[in-house]
Amino acid sequence: MATQNAAMLHKIAVVDEVKTRIGTASASIVSEYRGLTVSELAELRTALAAVGGDYKIFKNTLVRRAIDGGDYQPLAEYLNGPSALTFVDGDVSAVAKILRDFARSNPLLVIKGGLADGSLLSSSDLAALADLPPRDVLLARLAGALAAPMQQMAGLLQALPRNLAYGISALIEQREAGGEKLPEPVAEAAPVAEAAEASEAAEASEAAEAAPVENSDDTSTVVEVSDEITIETPAGEAPVEAEAPAEETSEAPSEAPSE
């Protein structure tokens, strides 16, 4: 009884593991390993682990139970005979290349098909993926392909003014060779007019500085008079002399002698 319970718990754990691994993997590939030795399987696991692949062997009945009714149900058509699942965590093409190269040297490994991003992949699809370059190389090529038109456009934009200048120069030479006299370029008059205005302003400033300063008609002359009395008189009139005030003398009244 205990053995049966342990076996049941083990099956439940395997089903849960398959569900989790398929759900988190970017792709799952089914292969048949009939006739491969333990050492050959270990070698295959080591090679796959280096590129993000994990090779696991499960019973087909447990895998079918794990994918029954879900998005990964189409994978059940490859579950015939001793099957193993390769869970891909990374570049699918790199994992497919390892499986293909190993199958060439070990024909007992048969790649049946797989599932990636909800799309069912046949053995020929996986072979085509194996022929693709690594993901990093593909991204580099894509970036180069996108950058090439931009570089060409930049080159054309840089060459446009140069080519236009060459075309105008060639046109002028052609017209002059045909005897046509082209008009001379007219210098702009604006700088000359500005220079003339600046010269006139400088001359006017020098004349203003050299002119004598004349006294105004409203100036007054200060005339000093005696006794430190000064009177201002308008310019052009004779100064008015001020008379000194007369000294006042007072005699005290004499009192009659009292009798």
Q: What is the pLDDT of residue 7?
A: 84
Tokens in use for 129?
């993926």
Q: What is the pLDDT of residue 148?
A: 62
Lowest mean pLDDT among 27-36, 46-55, 166-175: 166-175
Report the alpha-carbon distance of residue 109 to residue 35 in Å, rounded. Answer: 8
Confidence at 19, pLDDT banded by 50, 70, 90? very high
Res. 15: pLDDT tops 80: yes
Confidence at 164, pLDDT banded by 50, 70, 90? low
Q: Each residue of 179-225: pLDDT tens digit?
A: 766 666 555 445 555 655 666 666 666 655 555 544 444 444 444 44
Q: Each residue of 71-123: pLDDT tens digit?
A: 899 999 999 989 999 999 988 999 999 999 999 999 999 999 999 888 899 99
Which pTM was predicted?
0.53
Place of tokens 């080519």: 163
CB 25 within 8 A of CB 58: no
Q: What is the pLDDT of residue 91?
A: 87
The domain segmentation of the chain, as residue ranges, is 9-132, 133-177
User: Exposed/middle/buried for 34, CB within 10 Å: 0-12, 13-18, 19+?
Assistant: exposed
Q: What is the pLDDT of residue 257?
A: 44
Res. 28: pLDDT tops 90: yes
Q: What is the pLDDT of residue 162?
A: 64
Q: Each residue of 234-259: pLDDT tens digit?
A: 555 555 454 544 444 444 444 444 43
CATH of domain 9-132: 3.30.70.1730
Report the alpha-carbon distance of residue 133 to residue 152 in Å, rounded. Answer: 26
Average pLDDT, the chain: 75
Res. 165: pLDDT tops 90: no
How do the residues of the chain divide into helix, strand and coil, expressed in percent and rounded to 5?
Answer: 55, 15, 30
Share of the chain above pLDDT 70, in %: 55
Q: What is the pLDDT of residue 90?
A: 84
Q: What is the pLDDT of residue 131?
A: 87
